[in-house]
Chains A and B, each alone.
Chain A
């Protein structure tokens, strides 16, 4: 299974070649840019956006002092990274707040992009911030769409306003906002029916809703897996409605989301939220800087650190760091690590965010089931074996295998990887220890807490 999507891999491969050389020639840059271009296209970045991007980066790379620098590869990465960030918007954008409540947010998009789910997630998010959102069910076309929103509302204990599917969408929305005013809801999230950007009747319906209630925020929901057509869709919705922002959904898949990045470039609208899973709290703000880093395989360090800080016991983490640096890391510690990692959430998300991990952990399958097996193996070891794994001989292996229900080969692999992991962790710890500042410390904190996976 492809754990890491191709864009990160390809760029990393390209730049690995670059960093491997002492000096850079213009031909090197061209070669790198060719691969960057292919990678972008394979990631579904729009052809034109990719072309412009390459032109910009090449111009900057050749024009700058790349040829004379000591680490030319790094400089190219930096330029590519900066331009990617610029392409995605340079900072994080928040949801509008109206000075006169309720703030009205309207969700629009093609069929099946995830409007209803995103509407509920945004409402949930607002409610957690102490707001009182109201969901309005204005999708009168798709069978059971209203019911879907009602079920989600019930789960989240968020009120859902609906007039069934016999009334016109404009009437429902109007009545919904009145309802919100009467009941003191400070946010109204309108779920509309999915429609094609070329469907004139349905696009007119959206314009009618817009004219009737004047939403403060129109969010276009874009499927992260969309192809080259995404730019056309985004441009058409933007032209008709003047959208304010994008919601990028299904980014927890193995797609790179290139098309949505181009949607950003075409509309000029920021990506305000990112859908990261089917659970109602799997909605994250969009951080362009982090996304660019992730695309480049540099890891989404900040997001990870935030996640880690929420779940990881700080004292334990410090203790762990010390152990790693002195190479006293044992299987007991390792067991702790797995448990802490499991608390942090999806393994693949997390590994994708770690700088360097994309390369080093590429072949390691990240299956929750493997984790369970690994835990079983470690739990079948004696205390002595956990502390001094080098004493594990073949008869001990047989016993551990019986105890854990695993094969001896699993145990061999685990032992081997444990050694590699210790080495890797030591390296990380040493590199990061040399760095100064807050970021360096955070990195160190994190790296002290990453287990390897069999």
Chain B
């Protein structure tokens, strides 16, 4: 209940734009014709769903309408919801998978400015509240004051941070953090990394190395790699998911800034293409505004008003 409300609040803009537009297209009594499909396609593209995925969705809708002999435009709505829900649910397990009585390591990666450090702050708050012993690793040694930024979050939440000086080797930080997490018997180690654009081969190699160090130094640990995506990102998000997954095996996505942008559509495309689950979503500036991604809620809120 609380979560659904929060989602509604956070997704308000998404809802009003995307589904109101869809609703407009699918007004009562309207007959299904070619221009209707074209309008639907436009609505999806405007929602950052992407040309390819939008076309595929509309194509599927078209053949289902034919098979199921649907004549009314508004009935199409239910079908579209179904199709999108199927895609959203297809990615795999959602939420953080924290295994009890062992070390869980969460490696957080993404492009510059996606919201990695803020997400880690909120994530550590949630985990600490659930009773886990959390440790942070400041492996963004590159960006000015990134370590300080994570440190402030650590203080706010009340969790320790393993850090070295700015400019030091992130691999060394991760190495230290793994042994600290093991010796302190932490439940969760969250590793912050420097933002990097996915086409920078040397930076992606560095990430690959960080991941390898984690695998080597904490072989018993349950390791999850999360890609943080800014919800206002366009089609480049797909390239991000693809190329980051080559550097480190992604477990899922965190979609941030969903309170600000009108579009949540990019995840449909990513889940469709990559088969990655959206694990968490950021729906506000508050420390408790990081939520599990629930496809049913997402679709429900997304299409609420359009469901005539």
Contact = CB atoms under 8 A, between A and B. Distances in A.
Contact of A113 (B113, B197, B200): B113
B1 interface: no
Contacts of B260: 110-111, 196-199
Contacts of A199: 260
Contact of B48 (A151, A155, A227, A254): A227
Contact of B232 (A145, A152, A226): A226
Given A144-B149, A259-B234, A114 B112 contact: yes
A250 interface: yes
Interface string A112-144: 111000000000000000000000000000111
A208 interface: no
A197 B259 CA distance: 11
A152 B144 contact: yes
Interface residues of A, number: 50
Nearest to A251: B197
B198 interface: yes
A27 interface: no
Contacts of B257: 110-112, 196
Contacts of B235: 42-44, 227
Contacts, number: 141
Contacts of B45: 41, 47, 228
B199 A254 contact: yes
Contacts of A142: 149
A412 B287 CA distance: 57
Given A42-B235, A229-B262, A253-B199, A112 B113 contact: yes
A112 B144 contact: no
Nearest to B144: A151
B115 interface: yes
Contacts of A258: 234
Interface string B125-154: 000000000000000001111101101110
Interface in A13-28: none
A1 B232 contact: no
B63 interface: no
Given A47-B46, A198-B13, A253 B152 contact: no
Interface centre among B115, B143, B149, B235 (most CB of A within 10 A): B235
Given A42-B50, A227-B48, A229-B261, A144 B232 contact: no
Interface size class on chain B is 35 or more
Contact of A228 (B146, B153, B243, B263): B263
A113 B45 CA distance: 23
A226 B234 contact: yes
B183 interface: no
Contacts of A152: 144
A281 to B, nearest CB: 15
B308 interface: no
Contact of A1 (B50, B144, B243): B243
A144 B152 contact: yes
A399 interface: no
B233 A226 contact: yes
B239 interface: yes
Given A147-B145, A148-B144, A368-B201, A254 B113 contact: no
Contacts of A438: none
Given A47-B42, A369-B201, A148 B234 contact: no
A384 interface: no
A223 B113 CA distance: 9
Contacts of B46: 47, 228
A42 B51 contact: yes
Nearest to A258: B234
A44 B115 CA distance: 21
Closest CB pairs A-B (n = 9): A112-B113, A227-B234, A44-B234, A148-B145, A143-B152, A151-B144, A144-B149, A196-B260, A144-B148
8 contacts: A111-B260, A197-B260, A199-B260, A223-B232, A227-B235, A250-B197, A254-B198, A278-B142
Interface of B: 13, 42, 45-48, 50-51, 111-115, 121, 142-146, 148-149, 151-153, 166, 197-202, 205, 230, 232-237, 239, 243, 257, 259-263, 266
Given A112-B115, A114-B113, A228-B48, 16 more contacts: A112-B112, A151-B166, A196-B259, A227-B232, A227-B235, A228-B46, A229-B261, A252-B197, A252-B199, A253-B111, A254-B197, A254-B199, A254-B239, A255-B234, A258-B234, A367-B201
